[in-house]
Amino acid sequence: MIRIKTNPEVELIRESALLVSSTLAELASMLKPGITTQMLDKRAEEFILDNKAVPSFKNYRGYPFATCISVNDAVVHGFPNNNTIKEGDLVSIDVGVYKNGFHGDSAYTFGIAPVAEEHQLLMQVTRTSLLLGVEKAVAGNRVGDISFAIQDYTERQHHYGVVRELVGHGLGKQLHEDPQVPNYGKKGTGPKLRENMVIAIEPMINMGTRDVIYDADGWTVRTKDGKFSAHYEHTICIKRGRVDILSSFEKIIQNENANQALYSGY
C-alpha cells in the first residue's frame, strides 16, 4: 500500500531528511586519507543522537551499524571497519535517521583526492542521473518515468551498469514503504505518482557490469567485476508541477570542498 502523507507529515520527514544531510556534511568535514570508516560511523551515530534522533539503520533487520559506508567496488550496505581510507578511494555513505515518528534517508559518494578521471566521471554521471530522475518525480508521472530517465542516461548514454537487485523506495513511518523505485524501466509504467507521496530515489551505478555479489557478512554488495561504483540518494516529496527535494547536498558539498582544500594542501 502506498501511503499519501499529510502536509504536516511531509514537514516532519523534511526535518529528518535534513538531519541526514547535516550528518553527511559533518562526515564530509572528517573525510581524509588515514581515517577509518568505523570512526566515521561512530561520529555519525553521536551526531544523530545529539540531535534527538536515532539512526534508522542500526538494528534494522539485524544491521549492526548506524551508517552504510561502501568503498570503491562496494556498491551499498558496506560495514564500517578499521581499514583506513586512501587517496583515490570513492567512499559512499548512506545514512537514515528516525525523528518525530518519521524517517529520512540520503546518500552521497565522496572522492578522496586525487581521484582518477574515470572515477570522477562515474560520480558526476551518477549524481546527474539522480537529478534527472528527480525531475520526473512530479504528480501525474509514473515510477517508470523516473526509472527510465536514470537508466537512459547512465546505461544507454554512458554505458555504465545499472544495479538491478537494489532499488529506491517509499518512506515515512517505515524506512522502506511502497512503491519500489527501480533505476531501470520503461516510461509510462509502474505506479502513478500522486501528490504527497514521499520516495527515496537512489541510483547505484557501476563502472562496468551491472552484476553484483555479496560478501560473507550477508550485507555488503560489491560489483562482480571489481570495478568502482557510485551511489547518491535524495528523499523527495511528489508535488504537482514542481519538484520538492526534502534532503540537501548543499552543505555536504561546501564541507567536502573545504575539507579537501585542507588535506590536499591547496
CA distances from 189 to 23, 117, 182, 232 (A): 35, 36, 11, 23
Residue ranges covered by each domain of the chain: 7-264
Residue 31, C-alpha cell as written in the block: 573525510
The pairing of beta strand 161-162 with beta strand 204-206: antiparallel
Neighbours of 184 (CB within 10 A): 18
CA-closest candidate to residue 137, choices 156, 150, 124: 150
Q: Residue 126 pLDDT > 90, yes or no?
A: yes
pLDDT band at 10 (very low <50, low <70, confident <90, very high): very high
* The pTM of the whole model exceeds 0.95: yes
Q: Is the pLDDT of residue 262 over 90?
A: no
238, 181 contact by CB (below 8 A): no
- Band of residue 266 on the pLDDT scale cut at 50, 70, 90: very low
Residue 232 has pLDDT above 50, yes or no: yes
Q: How many residues does the chain have?
A: 266
224 phi, psi to nearest 5 deg = -65, -30
- DSSP symbols for the chain: -BPPPPHHHHHHHHHHHHHHHHHHHHHHTT--TT-BHHHHHHHHHHHHHHTT-EESSTTGGG--SSEEEEETTEEE-PPP-SPBP-TT-EEEEEEEEEETTEEEEEEEEEE-SS--HHHHHHHHHHHHHHHHHHHT-BTTSBHHHHHHHHHIIIIIIT-PEEPSS--EEE-SSSSSEEEEE-SS--TT-SSBP-TT-EEEE--EEESS-S-EEE-TTS--EEETT---EEE-BEEEEEBSSSEEE-S--HHHHHHHHHHHHHHHT-
Q: Do residues 160 and 125 make contact, with C-beta atoms less than 8 angstroms apart?
A: yes
pLDDT tens-digit readout, 158-210: 999 999 999 999 999 999 999 999 999 999 999 999 999 999 999 999 999 99
At the top level of CATH, the class of 7-264 is alpha beta
pLDDT, tens digit (0-9, with 9 covering 90-100), for 136-147: 999 999 999 999
Partnered with residue 229 across adjacent β-strands are 206
Q: Do residues 168 and 233 touch, judged by C-beta distance below 8 A?
A: yes
- For the stretch 80-91, pLDDT in tens is 999 999 999 999
Q: Convert the pLDDT of each residue in 87-108 to its tens digit.
A: 999 999 999 999 999 999 999 9
Q: What is the pLDDT of residue 265?
A: 63
Return all residues near 145 (Cβ < 8 A) that are at least 6 apart: 136, 187, 188, 193
Residue type, 111: G
